[in-house]
A and B are shown apart, each in its own frame.
Chain A
Amino acid sequence: MTFLKLGFRSLFRQKRRTAVSLLVLTIGIGSLLLTDSHSRYIEWGLRESTIHSETGHLQVFHRDYFLREETRVLELGLENVEALRADILRLPDVSLVQARIEFMGLVSNGEKSVACLGQGVEPDLERRMRGLFRMEGATYAALAARGDDPHIIALGEGLAKSLGAGIGDSVTLMSTTTEGALNAMDLTVAAVFRGAASDYDKRAVIVPLRTARLLLDTDKAGSLIITLDQTEKTDRVFAAVQRLIEEKNSPIVLKKWHEQAAYYRQVQRFYKQITGVLTIVLFLIVFFSTSNTILMAVVERTPEIGTILALGTNRRQALAAFLSEGVWIGLIGGLLSAAFAFLATRGLNALAITLPPPPGLADGYPLSFRMSWESTVIIVLGTAAAAALASILPTLRATRMKIVEALGHI
């Protein structure tokens, strides 16, 4: 306790030097916390938007879907979808279960035909899924507003532009049925949507599930998307659905959201790399800044080191006294950094700044932060540990001095 007290009070011997050290730590580690908070926001936002617009929390496919290629459209689709959906909906924590069909085809305005990637969806359920994360679902709302009308389509913005089609215009959607025959439907454009990537918009169409089934001449679904009330419950519900599959011996396979979220994983890896590099750089700054402060303290306090050794302090105790000084610098610097980051995140979130869109994406994204107490505690303790580590070498130098030399007796 004495050595902790001694270390703490020693911070006030050279107030200006201590202040500079703490300032370096506060700005450096505070910036690290800001970067971490921003990447956590991006990860969280991307995770939830990916889940609530694309993957759901869990996905159900035919057992062989990932094992081999289909020889015919929806050869590996799900059958008896309604019974399966009802079973899953009975499980706790499940909010929504909706069916989807992915298909390829051609869309034409009579003069020009463009290859397209189609998605058959249940518009009202899709809209509600997005609503769970307060995302807009205008396209799905527009489709849902048309009730059971199967003769409607939503076009990607780029595709609509390419075809010169707008809302209310007629287009023809063509594809091959599950039996391999060519089929076509005349559809009215009910909505034009803009996706995350402009390249996708040039090929994307969305139709009601019923429309897709009529076009493909099937009552199957490509997949079932399960959305939960909380992402944190994914593992628990996964296990429950898995048990259900085993009990019913259903020929299906279950996937978690992140297995189908390649873009999310790329972004997550990208931010982890940025944060990792920054962490190394900033911890080096902490290391050298603290090391320098302790080294100066050791040089200045050489006679004092001699005194405490002469009084019977052993070298381990002397080491503890100087190490505690480093730990205090790290701990106080870490706490100031956390306070700085907390205030900065509050302020910047309130300013609602939007950053320009990254390459390949259509929209900018908010400069927002999501501070994690867990990583704040880890970073603050890590700063103290780095400062302690930085203090070891200069402190060892102090405690290895000859006592009479330290006292200036020779």
Chain B
Amino acid sequence: MNTEAVREAAVPIAALVGVSKEYDMGKIKVRALRGVDLTVIPGEFLVLAGPSGSGKTTILNLLGLIDKPDSGGVFFNGEDTVPFVLNALAPARRDSIGYIFQTFNLIPVLSVFENVEYPLILQRVPAGERRRRVDAALEKVGLGGRRKHRPSELSGGERQRTSIARAIVKEPAFILADEPTANLDSETGAAVLDLMRRLNADEGTTFVFSSHDPRIISLGRRVVHLRDGAVERVEEPGGRA
């Protein structure tokens, strides 16, 4: 069975169907997405590629259930989420979606351990299990020795690895990463990307990330090229892990 066949046979975790989105920027309106269709299946390592303004972040926002389209459907676990207000989707975000931000977005007053622990507290995971899972997540990203440090005491790479640990600790259905290496030097960026690939390959963690860096795009198993808010073409250089 080829990768396309596998993808079609799998049940999507999330899907965008004919999604359009426009942003009102004062006097002008920016069309961010135009009739985009996209599915995310379990175990994928999907890259959204394209220049700035092509709609990468908007797609991530919609898949992450933190924004709503003007038209079309956003399906999560087979259910259209568009009729729900965003606050009603907080449990889905809490339990099923991990987010890795370009600017790390760690909570500065919490330690590395507490930042990673935060999603588990929202899930009301018991303290003992929280400790075990946070320790495991920090070990995976190589930050076992930095758990008591505050974000301000970490390098850029360490901050992003903390952000990855925060995303994987709750074992989400998929992880969205918005230009996760954009604020890192190339060596650190490669290390972070390698970490994400290992998590995908070894543990089947589903990743959807955006980038406009050709070197990073080449690592994607499926690459969705975007231009002016529309899907330009889809490539599958690596196939499914």
Contacts and interface: CB of A to CB of B under 8 A. Distances in A.
Nearest to B86: A403
A360 interface: no
Contact of A317 (B66, B99, B122, B166): B122
A407 B67 CA distance: 11
B76 interface: no
Contacts of B108: 13, 304
Given A2-B121, A304-B107, A311 B61 contact: no
B94 interface: yes
A30 to B, nearest CB: 28
B128 to A, nearest CB: 15
A326 B101 CA distance: 29
A403 B110 contact: no
A354 interface: no
Interface residues of A, number: 25
B132 to A, nearest CB: 18
A318 to B, nearest CB: 10
Contact of B122 (A13, A311, A402): A311
B90 interface: yes
A404 B66 contact: yes
B93 to A, nearest CB: 4
A2 B115 CA distance: 11
Interface string B157-170: 00000000010000
A3 to B, nearest CB: 9
Interface string B85-114: 011001111110101010101011110000
Given A2-B118, A9-B110, A13-B108, A310 B64 contact: yes
Contacts of A10: 109
A307 B100 CA distance: 10
Contact of B107 (A307, A312, A314, A407): A307
B121 A312 contact: no
A312 B67 contact: no
B67 A311 contact: no
B66 A310 contact: yes
Interface in B16-59: 23, 25, 57-58
B119 interface: yes
Contacts of B23: 410
A312 B166 CA distance: 12
B107 A313 contact: no
B61 A312 contact: no
B110 A312 contact: no
Interface in A390-410: 402-404, 407, 409-410
A6 B91 contact: no
A187 interface: no
16 contacts: A2-B118, A13-B108, A13-B109, A307-B107, A308-B118, A310-B99, A311-B118, A312-B122, A313-B90, A315-B87, A317-B122, A403-B66, A409-B57, A409-B58, A409-B61, A409-B67
A-B residue pairs, 3 tightest by C-beta: A312-B94, A9-B109, A312-B93
